[in-house]
Amino acid sequence: MRADPIVIIGGGESATCAIAGLRSEGYRGPVVWVCEEDIHAYERPTLSKQFLGSSHARPSSVIPPELLDDPAIDIRLDTRATHLDAANRLVTLGTSERIAYSGLLLATGAEARDLDLPGRNSDRWLTLRRAGDAARLRPYLNGQSRIVIVGAGLIGLELAAAARMAGAQVTVIESQDRPLARVLPPAIAEIALARHRAMGVAFRFGTTIASVESGPTGERLLLSSGAEITADLVPVAIGSIPRTELAEAAGLAIANGVVVDAQLRTSQAGIWASGDCCAFPLDGRLVRLESWEAARQLGEIAGRNMAGRALPTDIVPWFWSDQYDLGIQGLGLPPDGATLVHRVIDPESALSFALCPAGRLRAVHGIGPETSIAKHIKRARPLIRDGAVCDPAILQDADQPLWAAFPPLAVAS
């Protein structure tokens, strides 16, 4: 009898790496790979960056050719998994096809959170998650457009940069009193903000949209501050919601994501989860990340574990963002109550270190032209992993070599 296949649900980076992980551990059996989108897994981060300004019809694929050519991998595009029966190990695709699985991975990612305001004309509003969303945005990237972006997070500000560079008039509305509050320390976010302002982006902080009136010349937005703005397009970039509907209906534990253990196993035998849809234990907390590298790393670990390994998810989370020619990177998760130590390299370049009370390095964030701060971030990786203790006085003094702040033993280990 033929073994039941492993079923992978979701066609993003995490799913792709999971299948590569399965194969790397020698699993040669059948795989059914189910993806709702109608194109092969692609580079999602580019949707708010280079892809917007390019003329490419679709973003680059991320699937290694050996997986595409593998006859035992049955790729179902444009197909949604609609029901999961965990007790009987059955998954339903589309309206009727039922497949028995030997193991199943949920790599369903996340969807953009929207603002469903009454009275809006949906043709002039969008969220950015899929290639088709970016295609809708492109025609507005020109000098005639008035674009009002809701949300000053990473995606909102990347969009602001792309739209300004294309000549559009750009306003960003943010309910908090500063940009990038969830992801960056203030000193790093301020450098990005200063650049956006210098490029002519207008900001309205501490403000929300109170109501909308659609008219022939655009969307009239009445703000909570009392001000009014008219927009040709309103991209909403206010975060994402994990795609947990399948898991939830199947009775799996959920807590802002599909809950998994350190080996990425869900609360049901035979089901794993990875990527943006999962909440996994890290530093004693249950966290859900929305970052490309983690989606890839967790996918690979899940795939290898599904093939019989028991690898723990000991990752150090990392992300990057590009705005104009400024590159931002963050590594590690700052603990609650972290002490922030700031190191100014030059007016547009700085690093911010998050130390736990005992002085151990837990996270570093940086900004600078292009990839100029990358080396510092990379050198911090083993230090964060080891919880190296550092000297804040040296860290913040740009006249002293950075790594003198750490004892030589920590650097060597």
Partner 1 sequence: MSNELTWHQACNSDDVDLEDVLGVTIAGNRVAIYRSPDDRFYATEGLCTHEQVKLEDGLVMDDIIECPKHNGRFNYRTGEARGAPACINLRTMPTKVEDGVVYVGLANAG
Ligand X SMILES: Cc1cc2nc3c(=O)[nH]c(=O)nc-3n(C[C@H](O)[C@H](O)[C@H](O)COP(=O)(O)OP(=O)(O)OC[C@H]3O[C@@H](n4cnc5c(N)ncnc54)[C@H](O)[C@@H]3O)c2cc1C
Q: Nearest Cα to 212, choosing from 140, 133, 142, 123?
A: 123
67, 40 Cβ separation under 8 angstroms: no
Question: Residue 64 binds what, of ligand X, partner 1, none (CB under 5 to 8 Å, by partner type)?
Answer: partner 1
Positions 72 through 91 that interact with ligand X (CB under 6 A) = 80-81
Total interface residues for partner 1 by CB under 8 A: 17
370 lies in the site for partner 1, by CB under 8 A: yes
Q: Nearest Cα to 97, choosing from 7, 197, 187, 2?
A: 7
User: Contacting ligand X (CB under 6 A), which of 6, 27, 48, 367?
Assistant: 48
Smaller CB separation from ligand X, 89 or 341: 89
329, 365 Cβ separation under 8 angstroms: yes
| Contact stretch for partner 1 (CB under 8 A) within 144-152, 173-181, 303-311, 364-372 | 364-372
Where does residue 151 rank: exposed (0-12), middle (13-18), buried (19+ CB within 10 A)?
buried
317, 332 Cβ separation under 8 angstroms: yes
φ, ψ of residue 344 in degrees (nearest 5): -90, 125
292 lies in the site for partner 1, by CB under 8 A: yes
Question: Residue 378 binds what, of ligand X, partner 1, none (CB under 5 to 8 Å, by partner type)?
Answer: partner 1
Smaller CB separation from ligand X, 158 or 174: 158
105 lies in the site for ligand X, by CB under 6 A: no
User: Contacting partner 1 (CB under 8 A), which of 208, 254, 315, 320?
Assistant: 320
233 lies in the site for partner 1, by CB under 8 A: no
Q: Nearest Cα to 82, choosing from 65, 94, 90, 70?
A: 94
184 lies in the site for ligand X, by CB under 6 A: no
- Identify the H or E element spanning 192: helix 186-198
62 lies in the site for partner 1, by CB under 8 A: yes
Distances in Å between the Cα of 88 and the Cα atoms of 102, 107, 213 are 10, 20, 51
Question: Residue 205 binds what, of ligand X, partner 1, none (CB under 5 to 8 Å, by partner type)?
Answer: none
Residue pointed to by tokens 């039922």: 98
Question: Residue 375 binds what, of ligand X, partner 1, none (CB under 5 to 8 Å, by partner type)?
Answer: partner 1
Give the separation between CA 108 and CA 113, rounded to whole angstroms: 15
Binding site for partner 1 (CB under 8 A): 17, 20, 62, 64, 292-293, 296, 318, 320, 327, 370-372, 374-375, 378-379
Q: Give the footprint of ligand X on this chain (CB under 6 A).
A: 9-15, 34-37, 44-45, 47-48, 80-81, 107-110, 128-129, 155, 243, 246, 275-276, 290-293, 295, 319-321
